[in-house]
Amino acid sequence: MSIVLIILIALAVLVAVYAVVTYNGFIRLRTRADESFSDIEVQLKRRHDLIPNLVETVKGYAAHEKQVFENVTAARSNAVSAKGPQAQGQAENALTGALRQLFAVAEAYPDLKASQNFLELQDEMTDTEDKIQAARRFYNMTVRDLNIKVDQFPSRIIAGMAGVSKRDFFELEDPAEREVTAVSFQSTPASGT
C-alpha cells in the first residue's frame, strides 16, 4: 500500500518537474524568437532608410529613368508597411528585385559609378543585406527549434496548455547564395593535391 503510494507520488513529482522544465524551455525559445525577429526588423529598417538617399543619388546622374525610381519607391513603401514574417519576406524579395534594377541602371553611368557617395551607399547596402541574412538565419534556427518542440510528442501537450504555437520562418532569396553549379574538378592551388 505505502509502496504504491510512494511510487505514485514520485511519478507525480517527475511529471511536474518535466512540465516546469519544458514550459520554461518554451518561454525561453519564444522570447528568443521575438527578440531575433526584432533584430531582423532593425536591419530591415536600416535598409529602408538607405533607399531614399540611394534613389536621390542615382537621380542626380540619371534623372530620366523614372520607371525604375517609381518601382523602387513603391516596393519600399510596400516593404515598410508589411507585417508578419511571411508578408515581410515577400515584400523584401520584391524590393530586392527593384533594387537590382536600380543598380543595373547605374551600371550605364560611369560618373555615377565613380561617385564616392554612390560607392558608400552601395557598400552600406551590401553590408545591411548581409546583416539581414545573418539575423534571418538566427531567427530561423530559433523558430526551427521552437517548431520541433511544439510538434514533438510529450512536449506538445505542454505547448497546448501554455498556448505556445508554431512560428513562420522568415524566407528570403539569398543574394549571397553560393553557386553550387560551379563545380570544378580542378584542385585549388592551396589544396596541394
| Stretch in the footprint of other proteins (CB under 8 A) among 48-56, 70-78, 160-168, 179-187 | 179-187
Cell reading at 36: 531575433
Please state whether 99 falls in left (phi above 0), alpha (psi between -120 and 50) or beta. alpha
Q: Is 189 in the site for other proteins (CB under 8 A)?
A: yes
Q: Is 190 in the site for other proteins (CB under 8 A)?
A: yes
Interface with other proteins: number of residues (CB under 8 A): 29
- Dihedral sign, CA of 66, 68, 71, 74? negative
Site for other proteins in 64-93 (CB under 8 A): none
Q: Is 116 in the site for other proteins (CB under 8 A)?
A: yes
Q: Is 182 in the site for other proteins (CB under 8 A)?
A: yes
Query: What is the rounded CA–CA span in Å between residue 16 and residue 29?
Result: 20
The alpha helices in the chain, defined as continuous H runs, are 2-61, 66-81, 85-106, 110-114, 116-151, 153-162
Q: Is 1 in the site for other proteins (CB under 8 A)?
A: no
- Dihedral sign, CA of 62, 67, 72, 77? positive
At position 24, the amino acid (one-letter code) is N
Site for other proteins in 120-159 (CB under 8 A): 127, 130-131, 133-135, 137-138, 142
Q: Select 2 or 191, whichever has its Cβ closest to other proteins.
A: 191
Which positions lie near other proteins, rule CB under 8 A? 32, 36, 39, 114-116, 119, 127, 130-131, 133-135, 137-138, 142, 178, 180, 182-192
